[in-house]
Structure 1
Amino acid sequence: MIRMLLRVLGHEHARTMRRTMALMTITATAEGLSYALLVPVLRALLGDTPADAWPWLVAFGAAVAGYAVLRYTSDLSGMRVGTTMLRGMYHRLGEHLALLPIGWYSAGRVGEVSVMAGRGLLAAMSVAAHLLAPFISAVVTPLAVVAVMLVFDWRMGLAALAAVPVVAAIQIWTARSMAATDAVRHERDHEATGRVIEYLQAQPVLRAGGRAAERFALLDDALRGVQRASRRTVLASLPGMVGLTLVVQAIFTVLLVLGAYLVLGGAIGAAEVLTILVLAARCADPLLSLADLGGRLRGARSELDRLDQVLRTEPLPEPADPIEPAGHDLELASVTFRHGDRTVFDDVSLSVPQGQRLAVVGPSGAGKSTLLQLLARFYDVDAGAVRVGGVDVRSIDPEALMARIAIVFQDVYLFDGTIEENVRLGRPDAGEAEVRAAAAAARLDEVVERLPGGWATNVGEGGALLSGGERQRVSIARALLKNAPIVLLDEVTSALDPANEAAVHEGIERLMAGRTVVMVAHRMRTVRRADRVVFVDGGRIVEEGGHDELLRRGGRYAGFWEISMAPMRW
């Protein structure tokens, strides 16, 4: 676990962590060795001249005071290192997540990362602040005490030393037996969390169906799963806890019997035996705490595993010598792209001359949105090349590539801030007049005028305080403000009411003017604005040409057109 912790921390914090661990080890060793002074103290107290114990008592007090200083210093160092690492890990995780391909962020993964960045990171980094010192003390202090026993009487020292491999074996066996149950418990917790959120989000549907007072079976099943997993976790931990307690009690009994035998035989003094028994009793508490510490460390290790997996995910490679594209034309050259086990595109070639508009049409699941994502390099292709301005996107600096592209998604996400702050994301250094002009072009100014807070209106998390059409206008204004030469549109009007659709179409028309445009289209009103249309299905381009030309051919596109226009004629 320590190796994984150091790997996760990286070189910046690993050295500090090693120093802190060394200080904690020295502190635990000093605690164990300080108990050696109890032997002359008890020998003098039980002898003929008890006053001789004073110098040893002073020495023992000085040793305890030195240990207290070391303990305070090591605990303080652990807390400081823990808080510093926590802050550093937030920065490291954030910087790494910013480099990962956008396609990596699936819906389920986003939820896992959000939990990891909150509770998970706190649990992982609490190792240094709260768990490492007690764990090192529980391991090193008993070993130091055993060393003291060996010095004063090798027979009782060997008897105590015999417990070390037994305790280690119990800890290893417990950790292995708990690994599977811990994984299941985490899985059940994750599922139950999702079901709770689902239950809350489904309240309108449940109430509309008259089922608000009924139990939600999926949530009940998930909670029962958590209960069963928790029960299995407790049952799996019991043998280790009981076994550790029995071993500690057994070794103390062995030392007591062996000490009595040696005293009666005259091989050792009563003071020495009494001291060794006191030392053995002092070892019991840290050894018994290993069971609790082991469980907490396993939980932290699970979080470290997940954090390590994310940090070891390779970002998209950046070019050593970036090339600046000369133009704004787009091209897919014999592109093959697989997503998991599914081949989304198979040897697809396509070109969009600079300043032209291309509409991508096809059935659901044909890969239309994926095509836009490949152009923006959310993913890298498995074969072939995606080119912007004649340059492979893998040879373009990522920031330079994204500076050339404005994307308007179907599902708009707005940050929890004001309308103006969300628009300015397109170009933070834009002047006020430029922001207002972009808003007017997107007809966002109409929305701002009717809101009580105007430009300072807070949109809520994800833009929840605005309607879908209002969010879309913010997104278009943001793209207009960016003023990129390439525009990618992922059907932005499919779920809007007629009034908002007309406003958004007007904004989109201004956004597309004079730019290279690739638009995923479901509504045929959008397709008619395109210079060329491609029909995508089965991982290939089935048809390609102008709108009127494709209608005259009477192929797949013509059939798609008829189906799309039927509701309007009705």
Structure 2
Amino acid sequence: MPEHRTGAAAAGGGASPARRPVLAALAPVRSRLIGLAVLLAVRISVGVAVPALLAAAVGAVLDGTDVRGPAALLAAALVVGGLCEAAAGPLAFSANATGTHRLRMLTVRHLLALGPRSPHAVGEVVTQVVQSAPMAAGLPARAAESAISLLGSVAALAALWWTNWQAGLTFTLAMPLTVLIARRFMSEAGRAQENYLTAQSRIADGLVAALAGVRTIRAAGTLATETERVLEPLPELSAAGRTMWRTQRDVVWRLGLLLPLTDVLVLAVAGLAVARDDLSPAGLLAVSGYLALASGMVDQIDALLGIAQARAGARRLSEVFRHDPPTGGTGSVMPADGAVRLRGITVRHAGEAVLDRLDLDLPAGAAVALVGRTGAGKSVLAGLLGRLIDPDEGEVAIGGVPVRDLPLDRLRSLVVHAFERPELYGRTVHEAISFGRPGVGREDVVRAARAAQADRFVRRLPAGYDTPLDETPMSGGERQRLGLARALLRPALVHVLDDATSGLDTATEAEVSRSVTGLLAGRTRLVVAHRAATAARCDLVAWLDGGRIRAFGPHDLLWADPDYRAVFGPAGATGSLTGPDPMKKETKEEERCRVEHR
């Protein structure tokens, strides 16, 4: 499938891909981040002022002058700094929590909008939403705190130069090596964190797949093998974790040696200045305070690690937003009928053409069966009508109007899908059937359930249609019938039944087919069929083979072709399923309708 920039990404303008989803999540917390930045700026400003105020108070004591004024200023500065510190913590926590909620909502919404287009495995998606989102949400607050702390350190360095230029020069000469160590730490920790998240995603994805097939695993006695498969990325996870701690260990001992050595050199230079009377004893106290603040630009290993982790989470999260969900058209012309036209349709997967320049016409109001061998692309073709997927090339039109030109909400009301394995949503059975149409009354829900042959088993439930869905044990066939009822409830021009009755026995399927035919009379139906009997009940059959429509016509005429019969398995290949008598002489009308094979 072609990849495009997402709308959320485009909104980020020139921002890097890793920052775009984070920027999109800032809207509801922007005021809190601004308030946090103000508090941090005041706190760091007070911090820069404290050494000078402390030196003034100590100088007043040493000189025997009035100390009350300098002491009062120092006390006020300390109180303001403490209040800012107390207020900044909860504000940062609130901004992170709201940003996490916003990022998770944006991610889930984007994934649901991608639908079948999503290239992400389930386990990876869970990791993104659960772990990467809170990491990325903390990036703005962490970045603001680090940036303001850096500005404060720069201001402290300037004050250090102002107080004693020799001390300032000594500290400045030691800075490049310190910054180099910190920068290398950021880079290595970020890569290790990304590797850690990737390994976690692989484990989560394997676990989700194993849980989905747990009955098969238990029946086959392959629990040990599947456990090893799920935990196969565990060495990578361990290696990434060890790399993070090793990187942190290395930078801690390097800075642990370098920073104290730098402090000793700076204080020694300042002490010599005091000995030469170039600096007062109170000035030495100020140098010590400014030195501590200036060292803060690199003496923040935990902060650096937090930023590296947040950046890794943001980069991982940005992968979700690299794929563009479908955008609806803005056309105002609505289809006149349910005639479907597909022209030059090509769909590729992993570089291979699943559908290759396919052409197909579904007459308005006709029931057309779509048949073909497993893997022929039937569900792919069926998904084109409602834009569950878009073709790489070609055009799909309903009633002469290209589906790309239709607003998505309008298209969803024109084309309705029923699936082989429907997912049911809602609190009760009634809500599961009326999902997407909350205002529908009970009478319409019951009518759709009857058409899908679901009414009888629903009425046997403890509370009938009001039975909670999570208290309703159902077989695969019963779930299919509820999913079919949900599709039948929606008035549409085109109904796509993607193998929606495969879980039913032959007799029930025949009853459902008769009811559906009556309820959907006059509406176009595309029925993905695996049974010959299902194809026989449709008006026409589209035979999909090799990415194209090999034949199109009535089932009884196609049945004469042994390759067509073989599509339905061994029974069809032997001709044992109901079909036309191949020895019967064709009428002129049948001869005229004979399908031309491509």
Structure 1 equivalent of residue 385 of structure 2: 375
More helix by share: 1
Structure 1 equivalent of residue 52 of structure 2: 36
Deviation at residue 141 of structure 1 after TM alignment: 3.3
Which of 454, 460, 468 is 2:476 aligned to?
468
Structure 2 equivalent of residue 548 of structure 1: 556
Amino acid at match of 1:367: G
Amino acid at match of 2:475: S
2:74 is the alignment partner of 1:60: yes
2:561 is the alignment partner of 1:565: no
Equivalent-residue separation in structure 2 for 1:498 and 1:243 (angstroms): 75
Structure 2 equivalent of residue 151 of structure 1: 162
What's the RMSD between the two structures over aligned residues? 3.1
1:144-199: per-residue Cα shift (whole Å, max 9, x none)?
Answer: 32222122112212222334443332222122223332222111111222333445
2:265 is the alignment partner of 1:254: yes
Q: Which segments of 5 or more consecutive residues in structure 2 lack a partner in the other structure?
A: 1-11, 578-598
1:145 and 1:279 in contact (8 A); partners too = yes
Deviation at residue 78 of structure 1 after TM alignment: 3.3
1:375-430: per-residue Cα shift (whole Å, max 9, x none)?
Answer: 11122223221000111111111111110112111111112521111111152221
Amino acid at match of 1:122: P
Which of 403, 417, 427 is 2:427 aligned to?
417
Q: Secondary structure at the match of 2:150?
A: helix
2:477 is the alignment partner of 1:477: no
Q: Cα–Cα, structure 1 residues 208 and 109, in superposed 2: closer, same or farther, change >3 Å?
A: closer
Q: Cα–Cα, structure 1 residues 217 and 110, in superposed 2: closer, same or farther, change >3 Å?
A: closer
Structure 2 equivalent of residue 365 of structure 1: 375
Q: Cα–Cα, structure 1 residues 171 and 283, in superposed 2: closer, same or farther, change >3 Å?
A: same
Q: Cα–Cα, structure 1 residues 111 and 14, in superposed 2: closer, same or farther, change >3 Å?
A: same
TM-score between the two structures when normalised by the length of structure 1: 0.88
Q: Cα–Cα, structure 1 residues 367 and 199, in superposed 2: closer, same or farther, change >3 Å?
A: closer
Deviation at residue 433 of structure 1 after TM alignment: 1.4
2:33 and 2:92 in contact (8 A); partners too = no
Which of 537, 561, 574 is 1:529 aligned to?
537
Amino acid at match of 1:291: I
Deviation at residue 458 of structure 1 after TM alignment: 2.6
- 1:186-225 to 2 correspondence within 5 Å? 186-210=197-221, 216-225=227-236
**Bigger shift: 270-279 or 527-536?**
270-279
Equivalent-residue separation in structure 2 for 1:217 and 1:355 (angstroms): 53
Amino acid at match of 1:224: P
Deviation at residue 138 of structure 1 after TM alignment: 4.2
Equivalent-residue separation in structure 2 for 1:386 and 1:361 (angstroms): 19
Q: Cα–Cα, structure 1 residues 494 and 234, in superposed 2: closer, same or farther, change >3 Å?
A: same
Structure 2 equivalent of residue 353 of structure 1: 363
- 1:34-113 to 2 correspondence within 5 Å? 34-45=50-61, 47-49=62-64, 52-93=66-107, 96-97=110-111, 100-106=113-119, 108-113=120-125
Deviation at residue 490 of structure 1 after TM alignment: 0.9
Which of 25, 34, 52 is 1:19 aligned to?
34
Q: Cα–Cα, structure 1 residues 102 and 212, in superposed 2: closer, same or farther, change >3 Å?
A: closer
Percent of aligned positions with the same letter in both sequences? 27
Which of 499, 502, 513 is 1:494 aligned to?
502
Q: Secondary structure at the match of 1:482?
A: coil
Amino acid at match of 2:239: R
Deviation at residue 464 of structure 1 after TM alignment: 8.4
Q: Which segments of 5 or more consecutive residues in structure 1 lack a partner in the other structure?
A: none
Equivalent-residue separation in structure 1 for 2:375 and 2:167 (angstroms): 74
Q: Cα–Cα, structure 1 residues 438 and 343, in superposed 2: closer, same or farther, change >3 Å?
A: same
Deviation at residue 350 of structure 1 after TM alignment: 0.7
2:410 is the alignment partner of 1:387: no
Q: Secondary structure at the match of 2:567?
A: helix
The alignment of Structure 1 onto Structure 2 pairs a total of residues equal to 561
Which of 465, 473, 476 is 1:455 aligned to?
465
Amino acid at match of 2:279: I
Which of 263, 270, 282 is 2:281 aligned to?
270
Equivalent-residue separation in structure 1 for 2:49 and 2:416 (angstroms): 68
